[in-house]
Amino acid sequence: MNNPNPIPVTTVNADAILFDLDGVLIDSTTSIVQHWREWAEQHNLNLDFILQNAHGMRTIETMRIVAPHLNVEEEALRFTANEITDTAGVVSIEGARSLLTALPPASWAIVTSCGLDLVQARMGATGLPIPAVLVTADDVQNGKPSPEPYLAGARRMGLPVERCVVIEDAPAGIIAGKKAGMRVIAVASTHSPEELLASGADFVVAKLQNIHVTRSNYHSRLTIHLEGV
């Protein structure tokens, strides 16, 4: 018997997917909040204000917003060093492993606001594969919401921006992807669908498990299937 209420599916074609990391492929919320809480208490700062600005941005850029009176270069180095040694509670998001293993290795990359050492620590904690193309905070002068990280990702993959699709979960990353000229799929894991759409996302899904990918034989293009858009 046919399902009388089938889940609607939207398809998007691309040659490559550029993934954000935290909030898309891994969940490091517990660790992130704990480290920001300790830092806020140390400097007598408002934690809620920090967290409103932290997600999707490089640590140093968050600190420039919330504590411009501090030596943010030194503070960010110490903060990140503490994060690298603490991966307790860092887990892969459900559906991440199966999605990545379904993709040809040359068809995906990670573009993150974390530095390389932190990426390696968190990916190591989850056991997720590290792609050949990885753009970190160490690789750019300007982090998200600047388009620089995603432009670097497309350049390293040897593809024009219009053939790349971004998967993000935060407004800063969505804005970066759109400024780079890419289509953006947002996952409502850390922000509401309304916030994600207001930031410019082309599509919003409730969770990563609602994204499936098949590979066509035509120039090895990807067809991205989005459930419930």
pLDDT in tens, 65-79: 999 999 999 999 999
The residue whose two tokens read 């599509």 is: 203
Instruction: Say if residue 130 is in the same domain as residue 58.
Output: no
Q: For residue 2, what pLDDT band results from cuts at 50, 70 and 90?
A: low
Whether 120 is in a domain gets the answer: yes
| Helix pair 59-66, 47-54: axis angle to 10 deg | 140
Instruction: Say if residue 205 is in the same domain as residue 102.
Output: yes
pLDDT at 123: 95
Would you call the peptide bond into 145 cis, given omega within 30 degrees of 0 as the criterion?
yes
Choosing from 20, 27, 169, 202, the catalytic residue is: 20
Whether 55 is in a domain gets the answer: yes
Domain boundary among 67, 84, 101: 84
Q: For residue 8, what pLDDT band results from cuts at 50, 70 and 90?
A: confident
Instruction: Say if residue 106 is in the same domain as residue 211.
Output: yes
The CA–CA distances, whole Å, from 6 to 9, 126, 193 equal 9, 33, 21
The domain spanning residue 75 has which CATH number? 1.10.150
Q: Which domain holds residue 68?
A: 29-84
Instruction: Say if residue 53 is in the same domain as residue 129.
Output: no
Q: Is 27 helix (H, G, I), strand (E, B) or coil?
A: strand
What are the start-end ranges of the H helices in the chain? 29-43, 47-54, 59-66, 72-84, 96-101, 116-126, 148-157, 171-179, 193-198
Q: What is the pLDDT of residues 112-123, one digit of tens each?
A: 999 999 999 999
138 catalytic? Reply is no
pLDDT at 136: 98
Instruction: Say if residue 104 is in the same domain as residue 188.
Output: yes
Choosing from 22, 27, 169, 202, the catalytic residue is: 22
- How many domains, the chain? 2
139 catalytic? Reply is no
Instruction: State mean pLDDT over 149-176.
Output: 98
Instruction: Say if residue 165 is in the same domain as residue 132.
Output: yes
What is the separation of C-alpha 194 from the centre of its chain, rounded to a whole number of angstroms?
18
Instruction: Say if residue 70 is in the same domain as residue 38.
Output: yes
Domain boundary among 50, 84, 118: 84
Whether pLDDT at 1 is above 50: no
What is the separation of C-alpha 154 from the centre of its chain, rounded to a whole number of angstroms?
15
Burial of 50 (0-12, 13-18, 19+ CB in 10 A): buried
